[in-house]
Structure 1
């Protein structure tokens, strides 16, 4: 793995706009950054990223089994007690999920380390699946990369195949989110396009416009029953709202399913460490009321059970001269875990995290983000990658 300086395409913004990637710049700064790229060998991708992602996903499914079978553990993870039975039922019924993203720390040396699993509504999907592939093909056409260059990226094809299965037998799906969010809208429009390519009838709907009939079935503004709903809206928020009380009873298939509450939670990290202690792709992690946290000394990361985009994460690391570094945010009332410190690798002035995508239970590709701080935030930049031919 190495970071390589690249020539920025003069037309990249126009290309982004043309394919619907309107969030190429956010907060007044570039989000897509092709001034450099990350190069991997095929062996690195297969043995250091793809194979560990397969194993990590199997371990997460084992953890979901354990959590769903243990009401005390669900309570400890701040899963509302009113949903415990529904979570268990969802898991026992093998309800299908669509996708997730492991955030890994990897620099080309040693095993990749799992920092967290974004198991519900992870961002950066379109840029991972589509736009970095467009970049690769264009760079090969321009002679900037050899024709043999490849990319670890089958996200698009796997999403189409998975959505075709999820939409069966009716072939109809609704895609919901907060449509006023441009970032969410880019993702939803992309998934609607995937559904169309899968031969499905897809409909976009805003979360507040979802209704419920007398049988707890979800309906749209035209009172059309929703057979299958993909919601780009966190499960942990849905279950805490009046709308959420219908989820355990609805015949509508909701993606992601309720059992994903066991994985879209930082409490997963101490459960994994307890089940697979010493695994080379895991870091020691404990709930904050666990006396074993003393073994982490003054070198750990404090994370809320429910948090996104690095919000309310605190780094405590006096050894590396970082001291205490904290990102503010609205989370934390639900409790915290502590994870052993493993700083992201630094390339130049940037801290780099690898997002490893899993779609329908299979590794599907990676997306890389950089930040000028050791905590990846919503202002991080997306950087493309390629496999050397």
Structure 2
């Protein structure tokens, strides 16, 4: 694993605009960054990333049935009582799912370590599935990469295949929704809707703010047509807290991702995985932390159960260094996870986002930050198998 500097394609910004990648620059700072790429050996990808991703996914899936059958565990994950039966029912009914991303710390030598699962509303998808593949092809054509360079990237074809597989179980049309003013989220659902269309599904898009609620408890579009199936790029725990979301259990709505993903997108899954697979080479010791007001000893990281985009992370490194990030989750229940540093390459700290599509390990996307906490401002970097 190496970080290799490379010349940018002179026309990549125009290409990004042409392909609908309009969030390549955020608040004047680069989000897509192709001034360098991460190079892997094929063995590193297959042995250290692809195989552990599949194993970790299977371990997590094996836990879902146990969690949804236990009121104690659902309470441990801070899932509101009103929604527990609905979540459990979605698991028993085999409600279909499409995708998830797990975040891994990996330096090219030691086993990858699981930081967390992003299994409800994972982003950085379009850039991983499509735009970095386009980068690879064009850099090979320009002679900047070897002719036999490759990429761990079956994401798009597996998304299309997954939509085709689950299509018979979905009411038509399939609506795609996100916050109206989030350019990144709107770009992501536009990409996913295109993939669903390629799989033969009729699709529509609607802003999450425009979804209505009828007297009979069903959600509706702007024409008061009931929505039967909704792909929502909107956190399910936000819906739990909304007055509008109280109708979910009786709404007859098919959700993607399904309600049972609420137990996997919750960081409480990490101590449960550790309890059942203590010492696993790809897991970090993790425990529920019932006293977030108590300072951590060195060598631990405190994370709220439902924090996102690196918010409210409290790092106490083994050598005594400390880092903290702000955010809105300061009074939330937390877990404690053993400190394991991201590797450093040229002053940057890369995090591997490993994609699971359906139930298949399907590719990776690299994000790097200038600190050990990967925030929403982290840059996306392409990768190649050399």
TM-score (norm 2): 0.96
State the match for 1:301 in structure 2.
301
Please list the CA deviations of residues 207-260 of structure 1 after superposition, one character each: whole Å capped at 9, or x if unmatched. Answer: 121123344332211122222110000001111112222211222211111111
Rounded to whole Å, the distance in 1 between the matches of 2:288 and 2:68 is: 17
Bigger CA drift: 329-338 or 111-120?
329-338
Query: Is 2:283 the partner of 1:282?
Result: yes
Tell me by how many angstroms 1:318 deviates: 4.8
Query: Is 2:204 the partner of 1:206?
Result: no
Tell me by how many angstroms 1:102 deviates: 0.4
Query: Is 2:60 the partner of 1:32?
Result: no
Tell me by how many angstroms 1:188 deviates: 1.1
2:380 to 360, 379, 382: 382
Rounded to whole Å, the distance in 2 between the matches of 1:229 and 1:348 is: 43
Please list the CA deviations of residues 43-71 of structure 1 after superposition, one character each: whole Å capped at 9, or x if unmatched. Answer: 11111101100000011112212211211
Query: Is 2:345 the partner of 1:347?
Result: yes
Please list the CA deviations of residues 24-82 of structure 1 after superposition, one character each: whole Å capped at 9, or x if unmatched. Answer: 11121111111111111111111110110000001111221221121111112110011
State the match for 1:105 in structure 2.
105
Rounded to whole Å, the distance in 2 between the matches of 1:378 and 1:334 is: 20
State the match for 2:117 in structure 1.
117
Alpha-carbon contact 1:351-1:373 (below 8 Å) kept = yes
Alpha-carbon contact 1:27-1:379 (below 8 Å) kept = no
Aligned structure 1 segments of 4 or more residues deviating by more than 6 angstroms:
none
Tell me by how many angstroms 1:114 deviates: 0.0
Tell me by how many angstroms 1:329 deviates: 0.2
Give 5+ residue unaligned stretches, structure 1.
Answer: none
Please list the CA deviations of residues 118-161 of structure 1 after superposition, one character each: whole Å capped at 9, or x if unmatched. Answer: 11111101000000000000001101112211110111111111
Alpha-carbon contact 1:303-1:313 (below 8 Å) kept = yes
Alpha-carbon contact 1:167-1:228 (below 8 Å) kept = no
User: Structure 1 pair 282/384, CA: closer, same or farther in 2 (3 Å)?
Assistant: same
Tell me by how many angstroms 1:171 deviates: 4.8
Counterparts of residues 190-339 of structure 1 (less than 5 Å): 190-289=191-290, 297-319=297-319, 323-339=321-337
The SS at the match of 1:72 is: helix
Give 5+ residue unaligned stretches, structure 2.
Answer: none
Alpha-carbon contact 2:172-2:228 (below 8 Å) kept = no
Alpha-carbon contact 1:78-1:334 (below 8 Å) kept = no
Please list the CA deviations of residues 89-124 of structure 1 after superposition, one character each: whole Å capped at 9, or x if unmatched. Answer: 111111111111000000111110000001111110
Q: How many residues align?
A: 383
Rounded to whole Å, the distance in 2 between the matches of 1:44 and 1:178 is: 38
Rounded to whole Å, the distance in 2 between the matches of 1:74 and 1:187 is: 30
